[in-house]
Chains A and B, each alone.
Chain A
């Protein structure tokens, strides 16, 4: 069970958004190609991982699925630290979940790396007849705020793969352009590398620091 396959990067990605928008099912669709109708509420934070190939690179996506519930924020915000990507999910049939996107974004920028790659994800396109958030609105919002944008259906497996791939690809683009790669298995940070004290050897980290 211990996964020690070789990879070039570990990217930490968080899934955030209101309760019940389908974060856990997006994750299970991406990591196991599964959808569960009776998915249980996520308690605190739950973890999953998948390794993908991006061009010639092996990238390990370490994905943290957070609970949408307000009460857990004190706990969950700690998990934003070290994240280099985020999927901010809303439900296209529940306008309220879209209205809170700005609040989530603020929370994310408060706790995460300011260079974090964020994708706004409108989930549940399979329920198109009940749509209450027009695609254009969300798209405009995403553009204004410099977010990637996609609409997905975890149920029908629409765009889920693309969404994660795009986020991971964008992270990789940022990382390579900034040339912050340090070794084959290394911590990835999107901000300027913090100058290390002399004599402090760069440790091999399994990932960006957890907590």
Chain B
């Protein structure tokens, strides 16, 4: 019934492509004006689209409609979603701890070098996982549903794809094997892991790699389970200790603000946050444990990538429409606790972005201005001429780590590198912002007034962006950092 409705929503939307106009001012995901081709949307089955609140989902669907108008070139992202409500009963008991596939390395994982006898190509990521995770593969076989020709926003979080996707290249396969090898060592070499993560982490190993790179999970394999259990217990200890106080006078402002913001969290994970109070609890606990900054809008966005990545361990691809409540309770709790800790680690490094007067952001915006004045005088002077201040557009770039400017899949890819870089979130981000600005050089210089410039800069058309674009952006950022970071006078006028 609800499913029928939702199918109807998609169809309705499909009939009027472009009927939802972009709302400038970041109300919508970045929009690519070049993309107006109608996608064959009459076929979607929407089988796994579940929503407890059809009307809210409808609104959600409407607001995200433009995201679905993506070129055929993205066909690689077709998915075969799992039907969440029909998880086999055995799974509920076996999924006490999320499977960290590489903790029980299979034959493949032990052989990083792909010999000729080895499969040269792997048809899909799910197949690749057959060896390492029987629970999941069983699940997949039983629950695979017809391919849905829609590209969800987070679909391209993968380097490789599930069924229906192009075959994994030899290079991808050996990259994945390299990760698997590193992760299965008794003591994971974090330096080596960083080195490989810099250019993107394969989807299959991203959750565990993120846990390691963020410093949440120890490199020592033997200690991992123990640490995970302890940290997860600790988080739920916090909840026991603090959560009841959310309605206290002291915290009522924090409570109210997070309450208002949770449904307005970027990007598009409303079903995730709506169904459970996970997001709310994560933010509330973080806020009251960090009184120097407290809760600041933007922090709510930052929890999303972690949540989505950790959830992706249990869901094939179509994460944003997945009904989290259908997962076993323990699994839900683990995802919540892991998201909390990894977000905390991230925020530890950029806390002065969110303390009074947000000095971290102000400094970064100034640094961006200074950097751009050295690397692209034209743009810098153009801004001056039209009285565009960097703060007017770059505040959000810093406050939300470009999450408002890029599709979620790109943020996730970006964070692979940020976690691989030393001071990725606090320092390297600056060079990414500079590279991102220069990326739009032509468009910027074609604007003829302040209004045009601001409208462009607050609504940069990145909806079609994927790993390739982010890869190029990061390469350029790296080049800038290499040239300018330790050369404060380089090109200085």
Contacts and interface: CB of A to CB of B under 8 A. Distances in A.
A4 B449 contact: yes
Interface string B342-378: 0000000000001011100010000000000000000
B198 to A, nearest CB: 28
Contact of B357 (A40, A45, A60, A74): A74
Interface stretch (B180-188, B241-249, B260-268, B413-421): B260-268
Contacts of A40: 26-27, 264-267, 404
Given A24-B27, A31-B24, A44 B260 contact: no
A47 B357 contact: no
B189 interface: no
Contact of A34 (B23, B60, B389, B392): B23
Interface in B6-48: 20-21, 23-28
Interface of A: 1-4, 19-20, 24, 27-28, 31-32, 34, 36-49, 60, 62, 65, 67, 69, 71-72, 74-75, 78, 205-207, 209-211
B386 A206 contact: yes
Contact of B396 (A43, A69, A211): A43
B305 to A, nearest CB: 16
Given A28-B23, A32-B24, A38-B270, A47 B296 contact: no
Contacts of A211: 387, 389, 391-392
A37 B63 contact: yes
A147 B59 CA distance: 35
A45 B392 contact: yes
Interface string B97-135: 000000000000000000000000000000000000000
Contact of B458 (A46, A60, A209): A46
Interface in B33-82: 56, 59-60, 62-63
Contacts of A24: 25, 27
B60 to A, nearest CB: 6
B388 A210 contact: yes
A74 B356 contact: yes
A41 B362 CA distance: 20
A28 B362 CA distance: 28
A49 B451 contact: yes
Contacts of A69: 257, 296-297
26 contacts: A1-B452, A1-B455, A2-B449, A3-B452, A19-B261, A24-B27, A27-B25, A36-B23, A38-B59, A38-B263, A38-B264, A38-B270, A40-B404, A41-B261, A41-B297, A42-B297, A43-B26, A43-B399, A45-B392, A46-B24, A46-B25, A46-B396, A47-B392, A71-B356, A206-B451, A207-B450
Given A28-B27, A39-B264, A211-B389, 11 more contacts: A1-B452, A3-B451, A19-B297, A32-B21, A34-B20, A36-B27, A38-B63, A38-B264, A45-B395, A46-B396, A210-B387
B456 interface: yes
A119 B479 CA distance: 50
A37 B298 CA distance: 19
Contacts of B26: 40, 42-43, 46
A31 to B, nearest CB: 7
Nearest to B385: A206
B448 interface: yes
Contacts of B60: 38
Of the listed residues B25, B257, B389, B455, the one surrounded by the most CB atoms of chain A closer than 10 A to its CB is: B25
B4 to A, nearest CB: 21
B296 A71 contact: yes
Contacts of B452: 1-4
Given A28-B23, A43-B396, A19 B257 contact: yes
A42 B63 contact: no
B23 A32 contact: yes
B300 interface: yes
A48 B454 CA distance: 8
A206 B450 contact: yes
Given A32-B21, A36-B23, A37-B59, A43 B298 contact: yes
Nearest to B263: A38
B23 A71 contact: no
A27 B25 CA distance: 9
Contacts of A71: 294, 296-297, 354, 356, 358
A74 B358 contact: yes
B400 interface: yes
A75 B358 contact: yes
Contacts of A28: 23-25, 27
Interface in B435-491: 443, 446-456, 458
A205 B362 CA distance: 26
B66 to A, nearest CB: 12
A198 to B, nearest CB: 24
A2 B23 contact: no
A65 B451 contact: no
B387 A209 contact: yes
Contacts of B28: 36
Contacts of A205: 387
A-B complex: 9 closest residue pairs judged by Cβ atoms: A2-B452, A2-B448, A37-B59, A46-B25, A44-B395, A20-B260, A74-B357, A2-B447, A206-B450
Contacts of B267: 40
